[in-house]
Amino acid sequence: MDMDSARDLAPPPAAGRCPPLASAELAGWGRVPRRRGALAAPRDAAELAALLRAGRPAIARGAGRAYGDAALAAEGGLALSMHRFDRLLGFDPASGTLTAEAGVVLGDLIRAMLPRGWFPAVTPGTQYATLGGLIAADVHGKNHHVAGSFGAHLGWIDLMGADGEIRRVSPETDPALFAATCGGMGLTGVILRAALRLQPVESGWIREETVAAGSLDAGMAAFDAAEARADAPPYSVAWIDTLARGPERGRMLLHLGAHATAAELEGRDPYATPPRRSLTVPMDAPSWLLNGLTMGAFNALYWAAGQRRAAAGPRLTDWERYFYPLDALHGWNRLYGRRGFLQVQSVLPAAPARDALAEMLDASAAAGLGFLGVLKRFGPQASPFSFPRAGWTLALDIPAGWRGHELADRLEAIAAAAGGRFYLAKDARLTRSRFEATEPRAAAFRALRQERGLAGRFASAQSERLGL
């Protein structure tokens, strides 16, 4: 019952035998939808290949940090937990290139590489996602406008196809498959390993400044002003008060950041950061805990605190608190209670963005349900299926319930009308028709899946819902 080195003693496994299958109820980070389905956790490439060759439609699953159903098995399909593929394989300090298995958790990668002076060139807002998940969602960071998305920093990807063969795809060897795998939501094969170019940093600290902007227009202007500065900081993201109304609608705190130099640490070990004090949400909160009143009060307090920080000037913040503030509260998704929550994240082309953003914020404040809002500007990016493109991206967290779905539908309609598109890593509810209307790229993605023998073999609950 206690150990599992059975395979060391059992008769030698026939090449590629299947590991045990479990039936598990899975959900994404938003905790809706939930689905019961087959789950396997292969220990090596041979077992993974055997599972794929058995023919069930499969989807790789990393840490389960996509919000919706991107890593849930399709009907009759199989979810492949990649948690045993969690090894760092090699590092070349000359080029800053790290090779690692897909199940490596980002925070573990950082803890191994930061003391050597290296940091991911792009990081999302959680350190608990896996390398494979970061690639599949082609995540963006607060520095997208200068660094692009995660895929821009990959040398190659080892991808296992439905035939169980491993192909090393790179922008040189197979540009089409490589580009479609970045942001391809796991639908182009199982990501096994990748080579990732890191950025050199002199410390584990971020020089952070806060700018308080009292309205949407002032906030958007503050992004412009920060980017125009001679010492423009690479990181910028705004917390936006989604419940403020009237002249204060869209008031925001713009958090700017740059990696601090060793000199700024004044002789301290530049890579040493204080241990994180974290709390855990032990159980589902009652669903009424987060409501318009409590969140309105929270937002007012947070806004007031942000104004004080803005007045206090630049300060040094360690990497965990700067990049991953929500990670300090383990299981924060449980604050929404059993109903779970939705996030609508869209990107809007720059020109119509302002009015659409205003409309979305009005809808959120009127419903009293948009609880957490984050605004960020993207730089240009042209990819076959990735989310980012030049413009503004707004993410809104909404409790799941019917009124939440009503608001989400309204927000989606506004974004779609403004020429926006949606982030599949967050999506749990887009309809096929709205997806088609906002994703002219879907046809080419489908065609590539057909051509490479991937259609029908790699599928998730999400791909089924969207008709991919």
Q: Which residues bind another protein (CB under 8 A)?
A: 1-10, 12, 19-22, 41, 43-44, 84, 86-91, 101, 108, 112
Nearest to 460 by CA among 137, 73, 102, 65: 73
Give min distance, CB of 119 to another protein, in A: 16
Closest CA to 438 of 456, 459, 455, 414: 414
Q: Output the CA torsion 94→98→99→101 (10° steps).
A: 170
* Nearer residue to another protein within complex by CB, 1 or 228: 1
Pick from 437, 438, 427, 439: nearest CA to 465: 427
Burial class (CB in 10 A: 0-12, 13-18, 19+), 425: buried
Closer by beta carbon to another protein, 84 or else 168: 84
Pairing of strands 78-81, 34-40: parallel
How is residue 465 annotated by DSSP? H
Cβ 364 to another protein shortest distance, Å: 37
Q: How far is the CB of 12 from another protein (least distance, A)?
A: 8
Min CB(21)–another protein separation in Å: 7
- What one-character DSSP code corresponds to residue 137? T
Minimum distance from residue 70 beta carbon to another protein (Å): 23
* Alpha helix (H) residue ranges in 114-237: 131-136, 144-147, 175-181, 216-228
Q: Which two tokens stand for residue 450?
A: 């057909």
Burial 111-127 (b: 16+ CB within 10 A, else e): eebbeebbbbbbbbbbb
Residue 65 has phi, psi (to 5 degrees) of -100, -5
d(CA 223, CA 281): 34
Nearer to another protein, 18 or 146 (CB): 18
Which of residues 24 and 358 has its CB atom nearest to another protein in the complex? 24
Closer residue to another protein (CB): 113 or 395: 113
| Residue with smaller CB distance to another protein, 118 or 435 | 118
Q: How far is the CB of 4 from another protein (least distance, A)?
A: 3
Minimum distance of another protein from residue 32's CB (angstroms): 21
Q: How far is the CB of 89 from another protein (least distance, A)?
A: 5
Q: Which is nearer to another protein, 91 or 178 (CB)?
A: 91
CA angle 118, 123, 129 (to 5 degrees): 110
Nearest to another protein of 44, 163 (CB atom): 44
How far apart (Å, rounded) are the C-alpha atoms in residues 334 and 330? 9
**Distance from chain centroid for Cα 288:** 27
Q: Which is closer to another protein, CB of 41 or CB of 136?
A: 41
Is residue 237 within 8 Å of 144, Cβ to Cβ?
A: no
What distance in Å separates the CA atoms of residue 399 and residue 231, rounded to the nearest whole number? 39
Q: Which residue's structure tokens are 């391809």? A: 184
Least spacing, CB of residue 112 vs another protein, in Å:
5
| The residue to which tokens 């939705």 are assigned | 342
Q: How far is the CB of 118 from another protein (least distance, A)?
A: 12
Q: Which is nearer to another protein, 19 or 186 (CB)?
A: 19
